[in-house]
Each structure stands twice: as structure tokens, then as C-alpha cells.
Chains A and B, each alone.
Chain A
Amino acid sequence: MTKRRQTPEANRRNFLKSATLVGAAAVAAPVTARAQAAAPHAKPKAPPPGPRQIAVETQAPSIDPMYNQSTSGGDFMVDVLKTLDIDYLAINCASSFRGLHEAVLNHGNNTKPEIITCAHEEIAVHMGQGYAKMEGRPIAMACHGVVGLQHATMAMYNAWCDRVPIMVLGGNIMEANKRAPGAEWVHSGVDINSIVRDFTKWDDQPTTLQHFAESTVRAYKIATTPPMGPVMLSLDAELQENPIADAESLRIPKLARVVPPQGDAGALAEAAKLLVAAQNPLIICDRVARTPDGMAHLVELAETLQCAVLDLQGRMNFPSRHPLNQTFRRSVVLNQADVIIAMEVNDLWGTLNNFRDQIVRTSHPAIKPTTKTITLGVRDLYLKSNYQDFGRYQDVDLDIAGDAQASLPALIEAVKRQTDDGRKAAFAARGKKLADAHAQAVERAKSDATLGWDASPITTARMCAEVYAQIKDEDWSLVGNTIRNTWPHRLWDFKNPHQWNGVSGGAGVGYNAPASLGAALANKRHGRLTVTFNGDGDLMFVPQTLWTAAHHRIPILYVVHNNRAWHQEYMYLQAMAARHGRGIENTKIGTTITDPNVDYATVARGFGVHGEGPIVDPKDLAPALSRAVAAVKSGQPALVDVVTDQR
């Protein structure tokens, strides 16, 4: 980032400089005289201290307003952030928030928040996304208000789509006559927040410190109230840097505990009645579990009903090996269901319909026409119209506005109240069938995983099985995955709330590496072993994330699923070529990452990260993973580059 340039022009500081010049000279004169008197006693080996150094060591601090200040707006801003218990401030340094940056370090002692240095604003925001999903509360990120914010936007969109809170602070110089020529003009805006307003919950541009305090507390409250989302504050550089004029009048507002909205009791009782009476009720869950309680509630509801659960895996909702988990029998359970309750599902239409991506695009329902559908969630409580992340409209029979996790205890109680002994017997029989089907699905997954077991390039099934073998006895946490890599959830035993934290939300490439690192930062304090599968295409967007991992000593194991392509697009291009009957020979152009192949282990080592690979023979995978896991357990980040087949 370009630093603010010092110019001799008549800005505020130069006005003050002119006014105090004579006085400053008057103060300097006696100091110089004393320094000269002291000089003969100085030892010849070192240069004698100059008058300025002597003044610093012998005089009371100067009160010259041209050069010194004892307070700053930035200090107060840090005090506000401390009241919100914000652990980290992820940044790429920039002059428009230098006042805040310095205050965090020297007024705030670089704790709560602690600076996390990132080599791109997209990394900083995505780290916040990963951190918030793992720790349950937001961190802040700061960026240059124009160009830095432009870098940050895609990550903010991912966080918006993923309903994750992040506090974004963008530096700006609001008053035109305070901007130095050059970079300060091109990096300032009348309304810098405008480019993110379509995908933030709220934003403001405080003009006073009291305004900042109130807007920051308000922003935090809005960001963390379901449906959660990113918020944005524009920070005036003058407000950060200038002395506080009216300290005694400033007040930091109190942040009240936010109680998430709960679904209407009558509506929940109606939902319970439908679920209890159903032959084959189905729970579909996406971003339900906000805290560890969420998974426990979902398990209790499913076990009470002994019904099928289809986990869309937007959060760690439901244990992978629970007998009622029917995620990998999707089309069967959708087709069998007579009552569906969909919780915090963003794309319900896409879940309940089959869509064909051919020349003529068609669709048909995946459920029976008579199936009753219930929705429970907060998504529709806050939508915006431009970006189309809300998906196609889906007819439902009962639409309950309320946070699913907060509403689950009442729903469970309503189900229990309405369940008599006859229904309990029916539920038990249903549960038995589902458990058998689940067991068969697990065996089928294992059988499928054997296909190409010894092949090179290595199959994704082998890669995932080898990783699990290395970590299964640790307190592991898988915090990222590659597109359509279903093997972890088919093969691994996910049973703890921190063992998964969902996906990007907006499908913006470049999420996985930094969001995984943010989750690892949260896991570090809990002593968990963090693992992520990272597509090579994703890593190519933000490889410098690895430097942040090394710099801040964040233990994490990156397993690069290196299929040497942006493979989803490669397949799409093949489909386009096939439509024309033109052959696929050219479809690798613009879609593959070859010639040269990237050596990610060497890249990792260059950033200070333990690197293994490229691994092309599956027999070499276990030893490489073992060494990498040992490095991670010693507190380092590590990367294993696995040359894989496509999916």
C-alpha cells in the first residue's frame, strides 16, 4: 500500500507548524547550550549525543502540539474494540488506518485485538470468516478504504452468503482539504462503503469519536444477531490520528447480550404435529449449529422422531456416523419423505428439485407432490435484492421465521408432548430401517474407496483415508475441503462440534486457504489438530496465506488436492465442446495448471512452512503425512502436496 506522503503544503499540521515554529526554536536553544556544555565529558569511542537526544533524556516531554500528542482518537477506538472482546485485527497495513494500527500496538499492547499480518485483504476477511465459525464470535479486519476494500470485497461476499459476522474497518480521509496530493486522493471516497453495501448487514461512516463508539457497538450487535453477516465502518484518518478534544464527554455504550429470534410457539407446535404424524419425516439442515448446543439439539430431535437427517454440511450439524444420518442416500430419502422440515437452508429449491444442465435446461421435483414442507430459519429476515444468493422461490406449507438452533428446544418439547406410545413404536421401527440403510451406505463408501486404490495420480478416496489414519486419534478439526470431495464425510467419524465448519458460502475461489487458517487460529488456543484439504486452484489465488501461517506460528496441516486444474471449469468446458461435437483437446487451455506444474511443497518452504511432496505414489503418502502431522503437533504449519486424480 502506498504510504501517506508528507508534503509541505498548508494542511492542518503545517498550519500548526507555522504557528509554533518560533516557540519551538526558543525551547531548543537552551537544550543545545546544555548539550554543548556536556560534550567534553563524552567518551571518544561513541559519537556524543545530539541536542535532540539529550533533550529527550533530560527534559520533560514536550507539549509542542506540532510534534507531540498525548492522546489520539485511535487510542479511544482501541478502547472500544477492547470492550467487545475482539481477539484479533487482521490487516494488510495501510496509511489510511495508520492511526488505529499504531494505537493497537502501543496503546492496546497488541492484545485484544492482536494484529494478524496478511499479504492481501481477501486473506484477512476470509481468516475472519473461518475464525468466527469456529470460535462463535467475530474478529475485526482493517483495510485501506478504497483499494484495500476492493481487494476485500469477494471475501466479504463469501461471508455474507455464509451468514458469518465480521467487523470490517476501512480507512478513509473524509475532508478533502486534509488529503495530501496523490495517493490520498485516489484512496479516498465520499462513500467507500457503497461497494459492499449489497452484501453487508449494516455500515456507517462515523464523524466523531462518540459516533464511532456507538456505531461500533451497534455494528457488532447487528453482525452477531441471526441472520449474521459482515458489517462495515469507514474510519476517518483524522479521527484516528488527532488528539482527543473532549475525552471527558466520551462514553462507550454497553453491548447487551443478543437473544436470537425464536420461532412462534404455535407454529412450532403445528410443525411438531405434522412431523409426529408423518410416515417418513425428513430433517434437512444446513447452517443450523451456531454453537455446540446446535448439534446436540438436532440429534435429540432426530432421535425423538427416529427420522432421517439430510445434512447439507453448512455447519457441523449432525454426526457423520449417526445411524439416522442419511446424507449419502439423498435422492432416496427425499423421494420417500412425506413431511420435510428444512432448517436454515439457503437454497431450498435447489435441494428439493433436480436440475438438468443441458442445452435446454429443465427441472423436476425430487420430492412427491403430496409432501408437506416446513421451513425454520432466519434467512428471509434479512435479504438484499441485487446479488441472487437467495436462490429460486420454493413453495412451502409452513414457513416459520426464527433461528433454528434457538427454536429447537421448543420444537423438541412439542414433538415429545404429541408422541404417544403407538407413535413411539412406529418411530423405533423406522429408526431400525434407517440404521440398516446407514450401515449399508457406509459399507458402500468403503467399497467405492477401494477403486483405484493403488493408482497414480492418487485417488481422492485414498488421500482422505490416509489423512484420517494419521489424525483419527488426535483432537482433530477439518476446516476446509475441495469441491465435491465427499470422502471425509463418507469415511470419517465426525462427532464433535469443532470437527467441521462448513464451506465458503458464496463459492468464491480463494476462500479455503485463508478461512482454514482463521479456523486454525481459533483451534490453536484449544490445542486441536487442524486439517484442511485445499484445492490447488484455490491455493493459487492466495498462496501467500502460508506466510501468515508461518509468521504467526499457527499450526495447520494443508493437504493440497493437486489435480492440476480448476477442474470444475475443465469439466464444464468439456461439456461445451461435446455439445458442438468438437472434441475436448482444446479444453485444457485456460483450465489447467500445468506447464509448468506447480511444486507446492517448495512454495510452502519458501514461505517458511514445512513442505512435503509432490507425492505421486500412494505408498509415499503415509510417511509424508506422518512427518507433516508431527510438524503441526510441534506448533508449525505444514503442507503436503498430493498429486491426485480429478475427484
Chain B
Amino acid sequence: MMTRTMLRTLFAAAACTAIAVGATAVSVRAQDAPKGDVARGKQIYMADGCFLCHGRVGQGGGYNAPVPPLAKTELPYEAVKMQLRTPSDDMPAYSSAVISDEQIADIYAYLQSLPGRRDPKSIAILNN
């Protein structure tokens, strides 16, 4: 079980420097996430405004500070849930009355379903 501090560190690392954590351990955690519904997750992601800061396809953005990408996030489900309930930065908090644990699992499933990163070398204009 990850501690709150560890989870917070994970999220802060993501916010500051994209993903800066051990990928293997994290992907194990991702598999541990409760099963969610992708379609429902997308609907909640849009309806509850996640897209406003994190982008419609989870590409990240900016609020009062840079907002981390979430597409195919390597953050564990528990870290995402903790950030939603008790955010470590300026992100609004979402209580269980607004977004249930089940809905968080749906959102998490949607994030995992997104295309994620490509190899920048495959896109010529990113190598100017």
C-alpha cells in the first residue's frame, strides 16, 4: 500500500516533470485499478470539467501552473483518486458526493484508453 506522502509525491512529480517515477512499479499499480467503463468515464471527464484543465484527450494544459497530461497516465489509480479528493495544488477538490469512487474508476479507464504518446521522431515537424 502506498502512503499518502508517496502518492502525493507521485502526483507532484507528474505535475512538474511529466512522469518521473519507476514505470514498472506504477504499471503494476495501474493494473490493480478497479475495472471502469471507458464510455462512462469519458462522459464524466467531459461533464465534470476534467477536460477544461487536462485537455479533451488528456494532453495536459495550464491553470495557475502547468497541468500534467493524463492520457495513459502511469499514475496509480489510488494517486489519481487522492488528488481528486484532496488535491495537492490548485486543482478543485471533488468529494464522493460529486464523483463517486466508481466514477473515478470510470475516468481512470477512459484515461487508459486514450492513445497516449507517440515517438516524436515519427513526426517530422517536431524535429525542427
Contact = CB atoms under 8 A, between A and B. Distances in A.
Interface of A: 329-332, 355-358, 443-444, 446-453, 455, 457, 459-461, 465-466, 468-469, 472, 483-486, 491, 493, 567-568, 570-571, 574-575, 578-579, 581, 583-585, 587, 645-647
A574 B52 CA distance: 9
Nearest to A450: B118
> Chain B contact residues (Cβ within 8 angstroms of A): what range?
35 or more
Nearest to B95: A581
Interface string B38-82: 000000000111011101111111111011010100000000000
Contacts of A444: 17-18
A299 B63 CA distance: 31
B93 interface: yes
A469 B128 contact: yes
Interface string B88-110: 01101111011000000000000
Nearest to B98: A581
A568 B53 CA distance: 9
A455 B59 CA distance: 10
B16 interface: yes
Given A451-B71, A570-B52, A446 B126 contact: yes
Nearest to B68: A448
B120 A447 contact: yes
Contact of B128 (A355, A357, A468, A484): A468
Contacts of B92: 574-575, 578-579
Given A450-B118, A469-B128, A579 B93 contact: yes
B93 to A, nearest CB: 7
Shortest 7 CB-CB contacts between residues of A and residues of B:
A647-B61, A484-B62, A578-B92, A452-B57, A446-B120, A451-B59, A452-B59
A493 B127 CA distance: 11
Interface string B1-44: 00000000000000011100000000000000000000000000
A574 B49 contact: yes
Contacts of A570: 52
Contacts of A460: 61
13 contacts: A450-B123, A452-B58, A452-B59, A459-B55, A460-B61, A483-B62, A568-B63, A583-B48, A584-B48, A587-B49, A645-B51, A646-B51, A647-B62
A461 B118 CA distance: 13
Contacts of A568: 63
Nearest to B87: A358
Contacts of B16: 330-332
Which secondary structure dominates chain B's binding surface? loop
Contacts of A575: 90, 92
B101 to A, nearest CB: 16
Contact of A450 (B47, B89, B120): B120
B98 A647 contact: no
A37 to B, nearest CB: 80
Given A358-B90, A451-B116, A581-B95, A645 B56 contact: yes
A578 B61 contact: no
Contact of B126 (A449, A483, A579): A449
Nearest to A454: B115
Contact of B58 (A447, A451, A578): A451
Contact of B55 (A357, A446, A468, A645): A645
A448 B52 contact: no
User: Of residues B63, B71, B116, which shows the largest number of chain A Cβ atoms within 10 Å of its Cβ?
Assistant: B63
Given A331-B16, A575-B92, A448 B69 contact: yes
A574 B60 CA distance: 17
Contact of B97 (A443, A469, A491, A581): A581
B117 A451 contact: yes
Given A472-B128, A583-B48, A583-B98, A646 B55 contact: yes
A571 B52 contact: yes
Contacts of A331: 16
Given A452-B55, A452-B58, A578 B93 contact: yes
Contacts of A330: 16
Contacts of A491: 126, 128
User: Of residues B59, B94, B98, which shows the largest number of chain A Cβ atoms within 10 Å of its Cβ?
Assistant: B59
Contact of B94 (A443, A451, A469, A578): A578
A468 B125 CA distance: 8
Nearest to A359: B93
A451 B62 contact: no
A627 B89 CA distance: 43
Given A356-B89, A578-B92, A647-B53, A451 B69 contact: yes
A484 B61 contact: yes
A444 B94 CA distance: 30
Nearest to A492: B128
A435 B71 CA distance: 29
B52 A646 contact: yes
B119 to A, nearest CB: 8
